[in-house]
Amino acid sequence: MSLRILAVDASLTTREMLRQTLTEAGFAVTLAEDGLDALNRLTDAPPDLVLTELILPRLDGFGLIAAIRNGSVASGVPIVVLTADCTPGAWDRARSAGTNGIIAKPFDEAALVAKIRRLAAG
């Protein structure tokens, strides 16, 4: 069974790039355009890992991480931040919120897939 990844990004281009990269790596991918969309999709089919941008409309990545960590659905799922916000304060805040890894955009596809595989393996 392939790992289920929920990838969250406001950019359609980035979502499609993630879909292609992760599908080619053998993962089952669900896409969401913002934090609220992601929370709705979490209840439909809990993923094995969440990949999220911090900069999102409606509910940003910090709010999404907090909602997942404090919720009853998928609270223990690994969360990887894939973000254009490379300020130290944002990264510190993301770590404090409960992320399992942070990757800066633009990202290296092989490194992203390797990090997901490492986290999913436990």
3-class secondary structure, 86 = coil
* Cα 61 to the center of its chain, rounded Å: 9
Q: 3-state SS string over 6-23?
A: EEECCCHHHHHHHHHHHH
CA distance linking residue 95 with residue 51, whole number of Å: 14
Tens of pLDDT along 68-120? 999 877 889 999 999 999 898 999 999 999 999 999 999 999 999 999 999 88
| Integer Cα distance of 42 and 115 in angstroms | 21
Q: What is the CATH number of the domain that holds 20?
A: 3.40.50.2300
Domain total of the chain: 1
Tell me the pTM.
0.95
Write the pLDDT tens digit of every residue in 26-74. Answer: 999 999 999 999 999 998 888 999 999 999 999 999 999 999 999 877 8
The range of the structural domain enclosing residue 73 comes to 4-121
DSSP E strands: which ranges in the chain? Answer: 4-8, 28-32, 49-52, 79-83, 101-104
